[in-house]
Structure 1
């Protein structure tokens, strides 16, 4: 079939309404009834007498046509889609043929035309078969047109049980997928043909893949033990195949418990406690009807803040991010969210250290609340690129906070990290300096409420250990640990974002005191080795160790990375105060004086101006308790020098901003 003909056919079918398609199917049934009766006469009588005998039986032709026209819609046969015409449709077709046969018998009894009992039975059989063939013929024609010029993907179904058979049946009429073979480990079914497809042993899989150019294997054996499924998946992945596992059809309808360890496991199950994800009524007024700016909106925490803000019904959410692809993805997600129909989303591609752009955005959209989640957070990267980390995390925060104060923003919430507590790396030190910046702005501000929310690692965020371990497990290991005893505080992205919004609402109702910040209750720290072992077992594997040399996944110690601590902390000074929410605590930690803050920012800008990482780190060593930079990363020996007047003026209007 030519492209023009197939295109016209699809155009014609596409323009038909549902009722018109049903009328076409009904017309086919009605037309096939008298044609089937005519065929019966042709089978029963010689050619010379068949037409004359059939002409005398015209009441029978009228009867079968009328009964077919009445019976087909009564049985709902035209309502059955061609793709769904299976056993149930064939049974209804048989009933319609019987119904038309009854009409034929009544007409013969009333008028007495010539037709033996064998002719009636023959009519019923021919009528039924022609209706079934007509529907499968129409379906084949339609699929032929749809598949014309398209590349079909060949797949193999691993598992020839009930789930695999049902899957093959469902895919039989698919336009772009063709099942070329079954593969099964059971010798009882090997060599059999199911749904017209042969069952092969697993040893022939490589030959099947090469012969049919197979790229994907559908694992359809949910009743097999999880460990066995994991072994099969590992073997298939090692062959470069794309593997998709599906539960049984009984599991889908709820008659069996779904146990699919091959599907992604929610990171929250590894916490060992109930996560928090509540909607706090007291904070609704903090965000409802307001314009919210979320910096780092495309990041893990920033994007989750956007999702949860929808529940508070703000008037507008300004999505601010330096990453084009991240901004595009969160903007598209928000636009497709049905619950956000009444909310305006404004994507802004920009840098928080660009004072001109930041002030323009705040003024243009009249921002009420800033959720500042933008930060360079990956410890090794910031350790190797300290100037970039300081510009973004410290000077960018200062630029944004000053702009918020000048443009009349009502609330400013900084997202901080436990790595800011007595940090041993540049990232942690830069986040502690950012806390100092916000504390300093809180002392200077009367109209803007500045607050800080500090918490630990976020499970499942970009760069965290959960996706790293999952990828290492998927590849068959090894799973790498930096230290046998390293521990971290963890929260899920969902509960972290929820508590950040609640904490922001609490600060708005209470007011920010000097040196005040919120710390989220993250439970007990989790040993990273224990987390890795849980993930390995959840994926259906076992740990390879001296006690279990036949295990699947090896765990390898690679040593602490530059700037990495063995154990993280949440507090610099002891003592915490309660808040109206049991999972949010308030602490008072000494910040820098105004003179210290001004001096620190001036020296940092001077170090950045001459691109001296050593000088910038010495500044942070002076003011951040416990910080001593490691020997890793590029280092320069240039001292902090005063910036000449002309360059300083240019610097104040650059992306770094001013103090």
Structure 2
């Protein structure tokens, strides 16, 4: 057992209480020199992590268990590499984000996943600040069936809201999260509203019926290549949908609106990114009209690991089929964060409450997609290029090699939380409402080229392919 701390001793005691589980602890490894030679629950600390190969041989170890929920990814990676070299199995106890209750046990032992290798120092949350605006409130989450939306629902449930309203248009994903809530949060009061954020009348009825006080807006189209070929849908869903939510938040005096944005909104090269940048502008426009006591903010972050349709599930499927794993470009890099980590920071940013702000989550260091592919192949017990090939398929329309979390014209300032930055405010275009109407008009006509030109007038830093750079004098 790697880690002779609280989690390690808890799980070893449980192993000894339940011999039928077939797990017999023979020793601990821990890098704390004070623990060396100590006995915990009758099991001895044999040495540091470096001693793993010798200890594994001497004690005829069959499996190594990582029992440090707070361990950064570098430590997990080291254990995995040493275990593989020693020819022993390795499993892990979940990270701190997954263990909401703080209790660990045999039932939670699982295979090592990619997010374990990318683990960072756990984010310390200001729980009072979050509870302050969620406890006893009616909370509406749009896009509640999606990866981020459903995790926001799980995290909000911990803060004793009066009621949670799950709004989304995909009935299957809503059905799944509903079943999960019944099992895991039986005391939570919630309602499910099957609705589309583009349908303003339906949305208004939801606001009228439930009177939400806090709104998390996570409903959006997110796939870059798909939105390049269907730009009108990106506008209707990501921009018009956000405008509907913002206007109803103003009308129904919602206390807090937190809009989920993306690093692709920064100096966008894609319609999806540009549409999310305009959505941020819509929220800022709403913030300028908010009454005192109302707070409308956006939160921007990079890719979340394992979200539906993202790179990790795709790679896993390719590995299962025997390869090849397809990577667009050897230097393609992305910021990654686990879904619970992102959701917790969104809740924290929502509690910081400076009306009109755009918050940026600290995503750590960007990860090379090629390295990520190799990690996943090795975690499957295979060797890249020997068992599973990796091929490069070329950069897709609207994609960048590197994402940025800040626009060059913005810059960022530190906030009161170490993992959250604040983008400096940039002014809205002077004829903003008029440009929005123009955007909707050309989207309805399905004129993709003119649509991109209007987007460029809304966002001067937007760099679409095939649209000439403007000098600001042309009129659409």
TM-score range, shorter chain: 0.7 to 0.9
1:226-271, Cα deviation, whole Å (9 max, x unpaired): xxxxxxxxxxxxxxxxxxxxxxxxxxxxxxx96259x754332232
SS for the counterpart of 2:403 is: coil
State the partner residue of 1:299.
146
Cα RMSD after superposing both structures: 2.5
State the partner residue of 1:431.
276
- Map 1:214-613 to 2 at 5 A: 259=90, 265-271=112-118, 273-276=120-123, 278=125, 280-337=127-184, 340-447=185-292, 448-507=294-353, 511-513=354-356, 516-544=357-385, 551-572=386-407, 573=409, 575-593=411-429, 595-613=430-448
Larger displacement relative to structure 2 (378-387 or 622-631): 622-631
For residues 345 and 111 of structure 2, the distance between their equivalents in structure 1, rounded to whole angstroms, comes to 25
The number of aligned residues is: 370
Higher-Rg member (1/2): 1
TM-score normalised by L of structure 2: 0.74
For residues 605 and 626 of structure 1, the distance between their equivalents in structure 2, rounded to whole angstroms, comes to 20
SS for the counterpart of 1:293 is: strand
For residues 262 and 218 of structure 2, the distance between their equivalents in structure 1, rounded to whole angstroms, comes to 11
State the partner residue of 1:620.
455
For residues 275 and 384 of structure 1, the distance between their equivalents in structure 2, rounded to whole angstroms, comes to 39
State the partner residue of 1:60.
none
Unaligned stretches of 5+ in structure 2? 1-21, 23-60, 65-87, 93-109, 468-474
1:22-70, Cα deviation, whole Å (9 max, x unpaired): xxxxxxxxxxxxxxxxxxxxxxxxxxxxxxxxxxxxxxxxxxxxxxxxx
For residues 498 and 460 of structure 1, the distance between their equivalents in structure 2, rounded to whole angstroms, comes to 16
Give the superposition deviation at 1:574: 5.1
- Contact 1:267 1:492 survives alignment (8 Å): no
SS for the counterpart of 1:602 is: helix
Q: 1:405 to 1:224 in 2, by over 3 A?
A: closer
Give the superposition deviation at 1:536: 1.2
1:320-376, Cα deviation, whole Å (9 max, x unpaired): 001111111111211222xx3332111010110111111111111110010000000
- Contact 1:440 1:591 survives alignment (8 Å): no
For residues 517 and 224 of structure 1, the distance between their equivalents in structure 2, rounded to whole angstroms, comes to 46
Give the superposition deviation at 1:614: 2.1
For residues 224 and 460 of structure 1, the distance between their equivalents in structure 2, rounded to whole angstroms, comes to 26
For residues 322 and 125 of structure 2, the distance between their equivalents in structure 1, rounded to whole angstroms, comes to 38
SS for the counterpart of 1:577 is: strand
For residues 427 and 280 of structure 1, the distance between their equivalents in structure 2, rounded to whole angstroms, comes to 33
TM-score normalised by L of structure 1: 0.54
Give the superposition deviation at 1:603: 0.5
Q: Which has the higher contact order (CA 8 A, sep 6+)?
A: 2
1:431-453, Cα deviation, whole Å (9 max, x unpaired): 00101101111111124310010
Give the superposition deviation at 1:300: 0.3
- Contact 2:90 2:112 survives alignment (8 Å): no
- Contact 2:114 2:375 survives alignment (8 Å): no
- Contact 1:394 1:431 survives alignment (8 Å): yes
Unaligned stretches of 5+ in structure 1? 1-162, 164-221, 226-256, 545-550, 633-639, 642-659
SS for the counterpart of 2:449 is: helix
For residues 591 and 314 of structure 1, the distance between their equivalents in structure 2, rounded to whole angstroms, comes to 35
- Contact 2:432 2:458 survives alignment (8 Å): no
- Map 1:181-200 to 2 at 5 A: none
Give the superposition deviation at 1:565: 0.3
